[in-house]
């Protein structure tokens, strides 16, 4: 299904209900499953990714588990099932999932004596997994590929014979997600030490709290920050967000980053309140940022910067090429429909002000990627009649996205 979007400014906007953090929920689900006495999880994210993990954890005795397009589920469950004695199954997913590399994680698990076999091309799903008690010790893994590989290993670390020491090689991308995993493990009573390139986890047992509360999702908040940046909206309440000082999510840096686009943030009563500043208060300087720790907000930052007329260069983002889509290539292609000529290489994307003729009725392809759909939706404030293709992709992380956007005046019509 495709939507044609229009913008109708609202006189009064109700509070925006954000989903629970998908990243926090996914980690809590795996850790809960590893705990002898699981916690009650409140504020859980209800989306395709978390449903994939929840369903898979209930199907340990099944011969085949299909996690669809859920990349986090593929990585976390590979490690989880490999460390579960008695499990014997095939783990597979969509065609795109079968093209996403998993070799670094599997290689690390094999060092722990895991029994995993590639059923297709080496280095990629589907996987045949025979679960067993794994041995721990010292392993090394590159830090510049996917933090999800590292988090997957960390979460099973306490269950391994002798615990686990992980040496991170080279530059570490998405560090904030590794830090998030550390903090959630600590909430579950695990001693974990993490410095720049070494993570040490002794053998121990998870001790779950009675209740684990999932905070609202900062990545999802980014699209409402974008919408406020592109309009004159004031005092928009985003419920359930923890302040950067109290959040485990690296994307909480949004509260600072969107100052570059004239958006101010305050916090009260468990919500963020965001307002647009004067629209002409945008610097002429090129906005140069290393976004290696916050890859999920790159699409939002790119679209916002272009539509605000802010020249930029965002680097440290090479891992965006192996997300649900090649997001660097996708952003470069789709911004051209709106008249913006972006420049990119393996690790960066930027805009120097170069324009081309925008299409009269632009259609944004989403490449089966939820973040592409959501990042471009606020552009309807400037491009009335903008079409977003395959709008159901938002179910991966934010099923009620279009409902919440309607509160902000983004009206969708099926075409």
Are the beta carbons of 21 and 217 closer than 8 angstroms? yes
The residue annotated as part of the active site, out of 48, 217, 296, 347, is 296
CA-CA distance, 275 to 319, in Å (whole number)?
32
H-helix segments, 308-342: 327-337
All residues at 6 or more sequence positions from 58 whose CB lies less than 8 Å from its CB, including other chains: none
Are the beta carbons of 111 and 139 closer than 8 angstroms? yes
Q: Which regions of 269-372 does DSSP assign to beta strands (E)?
A: 271-276, 287-290, 312-315, 343-345, 348-351, 363-364
Give whole-number Cα distances, 384 to 183, 223, 232, 357, in Å: 43, 17, 17, 16
Helix axes 71-82, 147-156, angle to 10 degrees: 30
CA-CA distance, 33 to 31, in Å (whole number)?
5
Q: How many CA atoms lie within 13 A of 372 on its CB side?
A: 28
| 387-388 vs 363-364, strand pairing mode | parallel
Helix axes 103-111, 147-156, angle to 10 degrees: 30
Query: Please, is 63 exposed, middle or buried when counting C-beta atoms within 10 Å of its C-beta (0-12, 13-18, 19+)?
Result: exposed
**Token pair of 109 as six digits:** 């698990």
- Based on its alpha-carbon atoms, the radius of gyration of the chain, rounded to whole angstroms, reads 21
Element (H, E) at 112: none
CA proximity to 58, closest of 26, 29, 22: 29
296 is catalytic: yes
**Token pair of 172 as six digits:** 């570490």
CA-CA distance, 311 to 286, in Å (whole number)?
5
**Token pair of 313 as six digits:** 């260069």
CA-CA distance, 194 to 401, in Å (whole number)?
35
CA-CA distance, 208 to 205, in Å (whole number)?
9
The number of angstroms, rounded, from the C-alpha of 61 to the middle of its chain's C-alpha atoms is 29
Active site residues: 296
């Amino acid at each position: 299904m495709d939507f044609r979007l229009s913008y109708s400014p609202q006189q009064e906007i109700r509070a925006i209900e954000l989903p629970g953090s998908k990243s926090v929920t996914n980690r809590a689900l795996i850790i809960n499953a590893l705990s002898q006495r699981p916690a009650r999880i409140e504020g859980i994210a209800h989306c395709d990714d978390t449903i994939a993990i929840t369903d898979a954890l209930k199907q340990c005795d099944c011969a085949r588990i299909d996690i669809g397009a859920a990349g986090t589920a593929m990585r976390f469950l590979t490690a989880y099932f490999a460390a579960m004695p008695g499990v014997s199954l095939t783990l597979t997913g969509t065609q795109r999932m079968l093209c996403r590399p998993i070799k670094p994680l599997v290689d690390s698990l094999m060092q722990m004596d895991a029994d995993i076999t590639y059923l297709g091309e080496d280095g990629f799903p589907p996987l045949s997994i025979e679960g067993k008690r794994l041995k721990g010790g010292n392993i090394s893994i590159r830090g510049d590929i996917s933090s999800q590989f590292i988090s997957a290993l960390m979460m099973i670390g306490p269950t391994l014979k002798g615990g686990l020491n992980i040496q991170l090689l080279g530059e570490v991308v998405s560090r904030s997600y590794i830090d998030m995993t550390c903090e959630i493990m600590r909430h579950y009573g695990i001693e974990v030490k993490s410095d720049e390139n070494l993570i040490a986890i002794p053998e121990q047992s998870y001790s779950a709290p009675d209740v684990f509360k999932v905070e609202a999702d900062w990545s999802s908040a980014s699209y409402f920050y974008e919408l406020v940046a592109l309009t004159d909206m004031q005092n928009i309440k985003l419920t359930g967000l923890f302040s950067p000082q109290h959040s485990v999510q690296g994307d909480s840096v949004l509260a600072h980053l969107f100052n570059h686009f004239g958006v101010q943030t305050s916090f009260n009563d468990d919500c963020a309140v965001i307002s647009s500043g004067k629209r002409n208060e945008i610097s002429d300087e090129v906005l140069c940022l290393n976004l290696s720790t916050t890859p999920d907000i790159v699409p939002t930052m790119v679209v916002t910067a272009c539509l605000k007329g802010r020249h930029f260069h965002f680097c440290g983002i090479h891992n965006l090429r192996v997300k649900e889509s090649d997001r660097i290539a996708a952003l470069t292609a789709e911004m051209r429909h709106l008249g913006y000529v972006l420049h990119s290489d393996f690790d960066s994307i930027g805009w120097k002000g170069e324009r081309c003729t925008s299409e009269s009725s632009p259609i944004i392809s989403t490449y089966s990627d939820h973040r592409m759909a959501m990042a471009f939706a606020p552009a309807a404030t400037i491009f009335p009649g903008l079409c977003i293709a395959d709008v159901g992709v938002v179910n991966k992380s934010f099923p009620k996205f279009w409902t919440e956007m309607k509160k902000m005046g983004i009206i969708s019509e099926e075409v």
